[in-house]
Chain A
Amino acid sequence: MSQVPGRSWTDETIAGRPKKAVPEGLWLRCDACASMLFRRSVANNLWVCPECQHHFRVNAATRIEQLTDPESFDPFNEDMSPADPLHFVDVKPYTQRIEAAQKKTGFKDGVRTGTCFIKGRKVILAVMDFTFLGGSMGSVVGEKIAFAIEQAGERDLPLVIVNASGGARMMESGYSLMQMAKTAAALAQFDEQGGLFISVLTDPTTGGVTASFAMLGDLILAEPKALIGFAGPRVIQQTIRQDLPEGFQRAEFLQDCGFIDRVVPRSELRSEISSIIDYTGK
């Protein structure tokens, strides 16, 4: 694998969690069990630690490569780029953050959408990229997701969205917020059309993405131990001023609470998705 997957958003982190980056070089240390692992063997294992089954974060390109039949991904809207409608400046201008993220990832924004085949079934796929400004949802992410949903409806194809996001993108403020309503409304239409939407939650899926399309799947799958929530753990801790229970907001916790259909290891995601498609007859 030529690119460097699993790298974190360089200048911001998800609340309360340390920056995670897969170090360069032949060897790397597992974030979870601290084993020294041969880099290529981890990559060959779908970026899952062979020792402890820790699922490393992967970027959109790697995810697409892992999930889809070879060479089958045919993208939509690859040249759609954020426009900075509010001329947002914090400690640095939003435009600079966009440029840096585009340079780092080689893509225009934090989601890739298109058609592909998964074990021979044609689907509309959207894959969020946490390495692009924390997978945050601004206008481009919202528009590409909404477009993908509409395409799934028009072409009568199953829709699969692989989520990885810190939430709505602050630098587009109201525009980001409105993308939540826009994507949810598009899913309402898709639902009326009888479409199948499989939402896959990966580490991390929080904030405005969870509170819109991510939790609206006809089926919701999650990768083991993925952080999934509305508020980030640090915000909750600051609000309630007590320690959070073990495993709180992890995929298994959400399954116990009744909000996820199945926790699925990465190695089984392809067969899981194709089996669901067959069961629903889509």
Chain B
Amino acid sequence: MSTATYKANTSYTLPFEQPVLDLERQIEALESRDNAANFADELESLRANRASLLKKLYDDLSPWDTVRVARHPHRPQMSDYIEMICRDFRELHGDRHFGDDPAIISGFGRIGPYKTMIIGHQKGKSTQEKVACHFGCAHPEGYRKALMKMKLAEKYGLPVVTFIDTPGAYPGIGAEQRGQAEAIAVNLREMSRLKTPIVCVIIGEGGSGGALGLGVGDRIAMLEFSWYSVISPEGCAAILWKTVNETTNHAAADALSLTARNNLDHGFIDTVLREPVGGAHRDPHAAAASIQEWIVDQVRELRRFKPQTLVQRRYERFRRIGAMKAT
């Protein structure tokens, strides 16, 4: 990792990263001295300390801190990955019924050798875009746009690639009036029988039904520091602990088994994609490269299946999930 990369991204530091920030300040202070050359050894050891400390922190990240990394303001978003992974992206707007929800981006794009339909949540980069995207909380027209583009992909035999990054579907008056629940439900049903490969990557937040609405796929991966669960830790804490604070958020995040590793262990996803040390925001290109490689591998394999076989296997994948006992 280059010095420039991490410096560019330390304008926002997560609470648990404070010790790293302290070391970085010391390094900067030494570097800015006129006689910095005299401290070469010291600088080198400080940099080594910083690197090993960062690695250690991220190796033992608690579930709640993982959620914080997944929400990091500099974390690469759908639009960043499109730029880094995709050639010749042609955005396609609108659900042909109500409007165009900027919280979901969709369009044609080439990933590696493959022409694909790419669909994903967008949280927004600038304040203006964040507000327009409702911070990644899509409306029903977003989910309907996504489905429309999936059907287009199905018709022309293009694989569908989805990027999931949402705190949840938007809870508001308009969203309810226009059938948020119906839109998600229909996506679940139609994705389960879409006759083309579907590859999903959870790149940040996998918040409940809003995430699953783009998440019924043949192959599903999570970035190492993303989360995926039925409810956010705060939402869970508010309902079950009846109070939201640092302690209950930690407890709820632990209880919900929301990390990539947890999701893999329970068979909800197929792969955990490793992130650069310190999270994807510290080296977006490395994160993008590993996502791209994985997508290309999956599409290559899935293209070999007949559409009917794909649909049957997708059905069985979800059909078998459950933990029951006979009494």
A residues sitting closer than 8 Å to B (CB atoms) are 12, 15, 79-86, 88-91, 108, 139-140, 142-143, 146, 168-182, 184-189, 191-192, 207-208, 210-216, 229-231, 235-236, 239-240, 244-245, 248-249, 257-259
Contacts and interface: CB of A to CB of B under 8 A. Distances in A.
Given A12-B239, A231-B180, A245-B173, A168 B326 contact: no
B185 A216 contact: yes
B240 interface: yes
B240 A91 contact: yes
B236 interface: yes
A212 B185 contact: yes
Contacts of B268: 174, 177-178
Interface in B270-304: none
Interface of B: 169-173, 175-182, 184-186, 188-190, 192-193, 208-209, 212-213, 215-216, 228-231, 236, 239-241, 251-252, 255-258, 262-263, 266, 268, 314-315, 318-319, 321-327
B130 to A, nearest CB: 15
Contacts of B173: 236, 240, 244-245, 248
A91 to B, nearest CB: 6
A184 B185 contact: yes
Contact of B324 (A140, A180, A188): A140
Label chain A's interface by main secondary structure: helix
B258 A173 contact: yes
Contact of A83 (B179, B193, B314, B324): B324
B240 A90 contact: yes
Contact of A108 (B228, B266, B327): B327
B212 A180 contact: yes
A215 B190 CA distance: 13
Given A91-B240, A230-B171, A230-B209, A210 B323 contact: no
Given A178-B268, A178-B318, A231-B176, A85 B323 contact: yes
A101 to B, nearest CB: 14
Given A229-B176, A239-B171, A180 B189 contact: no
Contact of B182 (A81, A139, A215): A215
Question: Which of B213, B230, B321 has the most C-beta atoms of chain A within 10 angstroms of its own C-beta?
Answer: B230
A90 B255 contact: yes
A208 B240 contact: no
A177 B235 CA distance: 15
Given A81-B324, A211-B213, 5 more contacts: A174-B230, A174-B257, A174-B262, A176-B230, A188-B189
A259 to B, nearest CB: 5
Contacts of A90: 236, 240-241, 251-252, 255
Contacts of A168: 208-209, 230-231
Contacts of B213: 211
